[in-house]
Structures are given as structure tokens and as C-alpha cells.
Amino acid sequence: MSNSAAEAELNSYELLDVGIEATEGEIRTAYRQRSRKVHPDRNRSDPEAGRKFHELNQAYELLLDPLRRLALDAKIRVVQARKQRYEKYDNKRKHMLEELEQREADFKKARMDKAAADRTAAHEAEKIKDEGRRMREEREKELRRRDEEAEQAAAAAREENEPPPIGQLDTTVRFKYPLASHSDLTTPDALSSYLSSFGPTDTSSIVLSMKPPKKAPQKPPKYATALVPFARIGDAHAAVCASGRAERGLGDFEVSWAGGSEPEILGWLRKIGKFGGGETKADDEGKAKGDHGELKADAGILPQHSESKSSETLFSSFPSTFPDLSTPPPAPIATGLDYETLTLMRMRQAERERLERELREQEAAEP
């Protein structure tokens, strides 16, 4: 029970203006008289009328409850006895009693202040703990973010350093030339020999087409179109760079990549600084010297030119040599060919047919 509630109980007799020995009837009569005086309906101008009427009702209910009134009477008698004892004390004892009560009050206040301080300290400690936990989580989050960024950077670096996949036409070049000035270039062997200055080619894989004009199909063809697979991508690139250059023997040739665009591997080599040539100013200055824009051969990226046509290179789309498919292969038992060799021959024939089909489609699309 709070101090205000205890004081209200001790003042119950005073609120009803009756003594401690009052009877129940006297209490009821006193309540009726007092309630008429403090009722809110009769005291509309008094803002405290409601509170006073409520306290009067509380006191009335308490005094009509035998048990609660008995407890109240005991408290009142204790207070009265204490007052009587205090009045009998001399000044010295009164001072001692007041000092004792003050000490008790001070001790109680100190204990309450300490409890409040402990609660404040515990709250501050919890706040510090929460702040430390938050800072630790943020630090761990930052470390995770840095680790992720480092992993992404490492992955990007690995991806940048890894070459792109090799396409089937990365070493294949498309040549278109007039037959009037190159009447001797009508066979794959002749064309391979003519292009030997750029590097070895896979002669058996060259696809050659000489189509007569559409408007006059009875006339001989004016142009020849060929798809020539080189053994090395550097040689293929050199041929493309020499398109239209008379000093390289391709003054009236139209040379382009068979795939329609530059192979991705060349862009990757250019990106990592391994591209040593191409259509640049330095390359134009080197035309007179026969520089046809080869790729660098350092770090094992591309090999230097070799006279051997049997060696394959890292970026070659076609093997340097293939079996002759002009005649049917003999039976495996007679020649000793194994299953792997037969499979390679079939794949080679399918690749040649595909190249021929693509060349016919390109010629059909031309005006």
C-alpha cells in the first residue's frame, strides 16, 4: 500500500468528521451529511469535487467493513501511543528519536538511490554491450563485404586471364578474288600454295566455289570464293590484315573472317597485351617491309612460324593434316584403322560439308 493510500485510511474518521468510537449508525448519518456537501452535482465550479466525493466514499466503505476498520483502529492507536510517548520524552530523547528517524529515512533513501544507481549502471552496461555487439556485427559485416569483393576481384582477374573458348572458324578465312587475274587459282592446292607466305593451311579442308553470274549462268564465273582454314590463328590474322595489299599479293582480294567477325581470342590477346600487330599506324608504316600484323609469340600464347605442317597449335580450329577423303576408306581389318580414326574421318567430312553449305548460303545472299 502506498503512503497516500495509508494516509487516506488514517484520515477516514476525519473525512466523515466522526471519532474512533463512532457507531455504524453515526457513520451512516455523517456520510449522508458530508456527501450532500461535497457531491459534484452541487459543486460544479469546484474542480476537486469529484476527487473529494471519491475519497469520502472510500472512507465510508472502509469504516463499514469490520475487519478493515479493526486494522485501521489498530494503526491509529499505534500512532496515538507513539505521539503520547513522544510528548512524554524530554528534549534530549526527542532529539535522539528525531535523529534516529532521520537516519532511518536517510538509510532508506540511500538504499533506494543505490538501487536506482545499480539499475542505471546495469542499463548503461547493457547499452555498452549492445553497442559492442552492434560494432562487432558491423565489423564482421565489413570484413565479409571485403572478402566478397576480394573474391569477386580474384574471380574477375581469373576470368580476365582465362582465354575464351575457341570457335570452329577461328582460323578460317574467306577469300574472294577475280578469276580474270587469278585464273590459276582454281584448285585448293593452287590456292594453298599461293597463300603459303602467310603460313601453312589445311589444303584438304579448303572449300572453293566458282559460281557463274546469276543474270548470265551460261557465262564463265567472274569470281571465286574460298574458305581457307590456316594451321595457326596468327597466320589467319595476317591474311585478314593483308586484304587489298598488292605487296602481299592480295591487292584484288577481299579477305575477311569466315565467322563474320574477329575471333574472341584476338580481343582477349589484345586485352592482355599479347596482340603485337593489326591495322594500326605502326602496321601501316611496316607495310613496305612486309609486316603483315602477326601476333606475339611470347609466353607460349602463339608459336612462331614453323615449316612443319604436321604440328598443331593451341588456337588452331583444324588439325594440321587429315586423311584424304576423296576415296572411300578401306576396311579397318585390311588397313588397321581403329574406331577413333574412323570417327575422326567422319567428323572431318561433316565439317567440310558444313563449310560448303555456309559458303553457298553466303554466295546466295550476295547481290
Q: pTM, whole model, 2 decimals?
A: 0.42
Distances (CA, A) of 105 to 102, 111, 174: 5, 10, 108
> Strand order of the sheet with strand 172-178?
207-210, 223-229, 172-178, 254-257
Round the average pLDDT of the chain to a whole number and report it: 77
Q: How far apart are the first and last CA of the chain?
A: 108
pLDDT at 163: 77
Q: What is the pLDDT of residues 335-364, one digit of tens each?
A: 344 555 656 666 777 777 788 788 777 777
Q: Residue 278 region, left (φ>0) first, then alpha (ψ -120 to 50), else beta? A: left
The domain defined by 3-88 carries CATH number 1.10.10.10? no
Q: What is the pLDDT of residues 209-237, one digit of tens each?
A: 887 877 777 788 888 999 999 988 889 99
Q: Compute the average pLDDT of residues 290-314.
A: 40
Q: Compute the average pLDDT of residues 319-335.
A: 39
Q: Compute the average pLDDT of residues 250-272.
A: 86
Question: Averaging pLDDT over each range in 186-195, 269-278, 286-295, 334-343, which range is the top one?
Answer: 186-195
- Which contiguous run of DSSP H or E holds residue 347? helix 339-365
Of 264, 263, 204, the C-alpha closest to 228 is: 204
Q: What is the pLDDT of residues 83-102, one digit of tens each?
A: 888 777 777 776 777 788 88
Q: Is the pLDDT of residue 316 over 90?
A: no
Q: What is the pLDDT of residues 185-211, one digit of tens each?
A: 989 999 999 999 999 999 988 998 887
pLDDT at 192: 93
Q: Is the pLDDT of residue 43 over 70?
A: yes
Where does the pLDDT of residue 273 fall: very low under 50, low under 70, confident under 90, or very high at 90 and above? confident
Per-position DSSP letters for 117-129, written without gaps between them = HHHHHHHHHHHHH
pLDDT at 336: 41
Q: Compute the average pLDDT of residues 96-120.
A: 88
Where does the pLDDT of residue 331 fall: very low under 50, low under 70, confident under 90, or very high at 90 and above? very low
pLDDT at 165: 79
In the chain, % of residues over pLDDT 70: 77
Distance between CA atoms of residues 330 and 336, nearest Å: 9
Distance between CA atoms of residues 181 and 223, nearest Å: 10
Q: Is the pLDDT of residue 240 over 90?
A: yes
| DSSP bridge pairs for 173 | 228, 257
Q: What b-and-e string marks burial along 330-362, b requiring 16 or more CB atoms within 10 Å of the CB?
A: eeeeeeebeeeeeeebeebeebbeebeebbeeb
**CB neighbours of 35 closer than 8 A, spacing ≥ 6?**
53, 56, 57
Domain locations in the chain as residue ranges: 3-88, 172-365
Where does the pLDDT of residue 5 fall: very low under 50, low under 70, confident under 90, or very high at 90 and above? low
